[in-house]
Structure 1
């Protein structure tokens, strides 16, 4: 059984995580303010598809491969850095 103190701490931290907007929400709001509703809805759809792609990759075991292989992890980091430089 979970103690009352731990349950309250969990509830408080969960509330903070839910209330504070993440980078995706801030990006959508920024696009909505700058370009309108259609751009914001397109951004939401793209963000959701990206999240689903990550979920499928993890479900297929890609996370375990990256975790166990130093080479794959390094290649992934370098690809991410190259993409940031490109942007």
Structure 2
């Protein structure tokens, strides 16, 4: 199994990415603001299922790649670092907006809410890159079964993402009101996230080859 320090670093990246506004957050917040927290949580169920699908596909596909081509790890590592830098720029770039300032959506039933959450996540490029570029960098073939490591890391990411998004869905209205009255906090959040993601990208790019 991966070392504790590696698991903590992975959890930090997973937390940083879920706090970076993207399609999932924007959709869940929109649903919570338009239709209430219950609708946001039902949509989150679909998002969670999308994560499970990505995790299983990545686990079985990447396992074969890492074992067959050891140096593929370096290519994946640099691609992941580049993507983190891109996310950092997206967080601090001029003109960026808060996901809590979104348009209203029509009211939908539970089945459609769940399905929309599922497909929003499946079509989310941030999730795809996370599982294909970032997650494999924390795999060490010498530490044990590669498939088991991937499933463990995927489970950690899903737990973090679902927990954070659930809290956001439940408190979207309060957060939206707070940010509307305190616009300076939006800039603070964006710069904090950008700094954390950029730091993780540098660490990842300069990490010694395994």
Give the TM-score normalised by structure 2.
Answer: 0.21
Give the TM-score normalised by structure 1.
Answer: 0.47
Q: With a CA cutoff of 8 Å and minimum separation of 6, indicate the structure with the bigger relative contact order.
A: 2
